[in-house]
Structure 1
Amino acid sequence: MARTYGINVPSDLNRNFIIGELLEITEEAAQPEEATPVEDSDIRIATVLPKTYNDTTIHIFMRNPVWLFAYWDIKASDLKTMKEEFDFEELFIHVSFFENENDEKSSDSFDVKLNFDNNELYILIPANRHFVMATLAYRVSGEAPRTLAFTKKLEIPQEDEAVRNLQPGKKFPMSELTKISGMDDLLYKHYMTHRQSFSN
């Protein structure tokens, strides 16, 4: 009976207790189930999310300290305006970096060219950057870029300085947490595979 109902029974349990429990389960299984009324509000119909919400926005998130994830949406009227521009050149994301959150002038920046078919992208972040901001814009020949949407400044997580400066053979006081992470072994394997990336 235990095998029939998929019950695991330890060998050291009281035999009479086991039989009583199994009989109770058998009786419950033999009784017809009562129908449970279902409210309309309980019915959920699976839907497919729309490709666009007809709003011009851009958002960024840090996947990790190295990769930035960006996604955007462009409303129909803005798309129409861009495509009707006679000298339209490109749609792009302008990625800007800042040393401090309140800085108005960026310390570095670059552009990532987009196409109209995609609305998300992973962007590789250069090392030693502190804050990042993304601007969705397009370029018309002979004119300054036209901004469609922009994000707030996002803080980039910073690695521990001691870990960032690690090199094989270079001694430094390693915390217990860093030791447990296997950093020594990881550093050695990285050195054996990518020796040219380490300075002498």
Structure 2
Amino acid sequence: MKDIKGLGDFSVMLSGIALGKTTPGVSENREETDGRVYKILRPIDMGTKAILEPDDFCNLPELLLTDVQQKKIKPHHLLRENDIVITIRGTIFRASIIKDLHNSPNTIVSNNMMIIRPKVTYPEFIVMYLNSEWFDKNHIQKNHRPMLMISIKEMKALSLKLPEDSKRVLLTDVFYSAENRHAQLKEAHKATQRLSESVLFEALNNPIID
């Protein structure tokens, strides 16, 4: 690609749809409602994860849309693998990449989120950049405090160099290695916490009497 000046030159961007009042998806009579039931991804569902996988979509809230609401949703609004989702409203900025939707094809994002759909392979470097301390300090903290108010126009104009193919492959390897390490450390922390708590409550149940 020539004349790459910003993120918008190699990505398509879509904001979440404002649906108004919605009804929770109904499990009964699924055959009658399946075509109008959509899962919705919200900022709270992202947590601190930079990678969203099948387990992250299993328990998403389901919405039963009216015919009018459903007409607002076009095929390009549905999440796809390798989409990058970001928070654009609220207090915490986060970016995550969708790696596997599994059995959640009819999934949309809430209207305080945005979809960045890369036109290039190995787009993980975008997530790395958006979640970096540098981006937080030089963009989010400077332009979006105390509340996020991020627009598509702003993200399209975001100055970001497109690395050549070989470098994107390398960055992708670094990304997944770092995320795997982060997950391992998180599990280790949980194990340590459980151990310390078990010792604590054993002591509380068997207090030492002087």
Please state which band the TM-score falls in when normalised by the shorter chain. Answer: under 0.3
TM-score by length of 1: 0.25
Q: Which has the larger radius of gyration?
A: 1
Which structure has the highest helix share of the two?
2
Q: TM-score under structure 2 normalisation? A: 0.24
Which gives a bigger RCO, structure 1 or 2 (Cα 8 Å, sep 6+)? Answer: 2
